[in-house]
Amino acid sequence: MRAAVLGLGKSGISAARYLQQAGYRVVATDDKATSAPEGIEFSKDIDLTGCNFVVISPGIALTHPVAKMAKDLGVEIFCDVELAFRNVQDAKIVGITGSNGKTTTTSLACHMLNASGINAKTVGNIGTPILSETLSGSLVVELSSFQLETMSSPALDAAVILNITPNHLDRHGTMEEYTKAKLRIGSILKPEATLWVKKGLFTGYHQFGFDAACELYTDGAYIYRFGKKEAPMPPLTAHNAENFLAAYALACSQGADPELCAASYASFTKPKHRLEYIGSHNGVQFYDDSKATSIDAVLRAVESIDRPIVLIAGGVHKGYPYDAWREPFTKKVRSLVLIGQAADIIEDDLQNAVPIVRASTFEEAVERARTLAREGDAVLLSPGCASYDMFTSFEERGKKFQQLIGLSDHTA
């Protein structure tokens, strides 16, 4: 048996090791790497002849020459999560996708399951490759559009689509294609499984929201599921409440106790770099929202802060216009500090809407934001763009921001 791995990031390396242990002869390739882990053949000029399949890293588009080669040769190509789904036997699996809130909802659903005594782990797009975990117990899988476009195995016991707003258009080309990729989550459900969607997103599925017509809703005081009052509702803002309801739907579908799910929110810690409060200095608050890589994620961050904002934005452009920022920024953003490849496009789209400052480095951007902020303001890193023009990941970008701010104890 022979298999190829395209891309040697975290998921690629875990897939290569998994296949090696399963008895495959593995050949790997990567545009940037020069070698593979020990025992795995590496080739810049990979030959797919005789390969049973290719495992492609989610960050690599299907237009890559090796992916095209696989298609021409009739060699099946899919991501590491699909490989796991084809080999899983006794795990219960729920999946989460959407443009915003995936990581928070994935972490919260896992937290709820564990609070009910159901041993659960988070895997997938959240950071831990699924093939690095034992494929048993309860798995809560965060799924990106990149992963979903190569998946086909019906392995999910329940799933949720949180929302769909413009994102990754540089990869998918159009909103129609992006939406189509997200909807593929419905094709990897088990026959008896349920797909939950945010109210008004699509018809024909179970809905969650703030309307009594939904299968799962809250009136602000209590949670109702299938017409039955189940548990008190934690006091949350609208978008946090949506993430909570989605996680609650998945956890309860797997047998979690409704009241324990609701009560567990009090002990839940949000993922790092997602509107994370860093601290304050001289009356200025600092927030790390490095994970906000879409238009809508930035809007939600801006709406969540109840004071004037000096915003650091920019990075790698993902193919969408920034016009949706104009009106909200006019009301809330005192100054906008732009960095990265997308700076020119953002400035053109927001001309005359908000004062704009340009910075040539990330360090300069943070310093300019500090200088521009007044007492009573907030400095917010919420880029609305990918990070890989300056960093290897949004995590690295967020860590650098926190290091430059220097308020690790959250006080000053």
CATH number at residue 392: 3.90.190.20
Radius of gyration (C-alpha) of the chain in whole angstroms: 22
Average pLDDT of every residue of the chain = 95
User: Could you give the CA distance from residue 271 to residue 27 in angstroms, rounded to a whole number?
Assistant: 35
Residue with tokens 């040539």: 360
Same domain, 227 and 376: no
pLDDT, tens digit (0-9, with 9 covering 90-100), for 276-285: 999 999 999 9
Classify the C-alpha dihedral 188-208-178-81 as positive or negative.
Answer: negative
Q: What is the pLDDT of residues 196-220, one digit of tens each?
A: 999 999 999 999 999 999 999 999 9
Q: Is residue 411 part of a domain?
A: no
Where residue 408 falls among pLDDT bands split at 50, 70, 90? low
Per-residue pLDDT reduced to its tens digit, 332-381 = 999 999 999 999 999 999 999 999 999 999 999 999 999 999 999 999 99
CA geometry: angle at 261 spanning 256 and 264, to 5°? Answer: 135
pLDDT in tens, 377-407: 999 999 999 999 999 999 999 999 999 999 7
Q: Which pLDDT score is estimated for 410?
A: 44
One domain for residues 21 and 103: no
CATH number at residue 10: 3.40.50.720
**Domain end among 46, 78, 110:** 78
Same domain, 249 and 315: no
Contact 355, 336 (CB under 8 A): yes
pLDDT digits (tens, 9 = 90+) for 47-84: 999 999 999 999 999 999 999 999 999 999 999 999 99
Q: What is the pLDDT of residue 327?
A: 96
* Whether residue 253 is found in the same domain as residue 285: no
* Residue 412 within any structural domain of the chain: no
Residue 296 and residue 229 share a domain: no
For residue 329, pLDDT over 70 is answered with yes
Mention every residue, 6+ apart, whose C-beta is less than 8 A from residue 12. 5, 6, 28, 30, 55, 57, 80
In a domain, 410, yes or no: no
pLDDT digits (tens, 9 = 90+) for 139-180: 999 999 999 999 999 999 999 999 999 899 999 999 999 999
CATH code, 204: 3.40.1190.10
Say what the pLDDT of residue 412 is.
36
Q: Three-state DSSP class for 404? A: helix
Domain of 203, in residue numbers = 84-267
pTM, 2 dp:
0.90
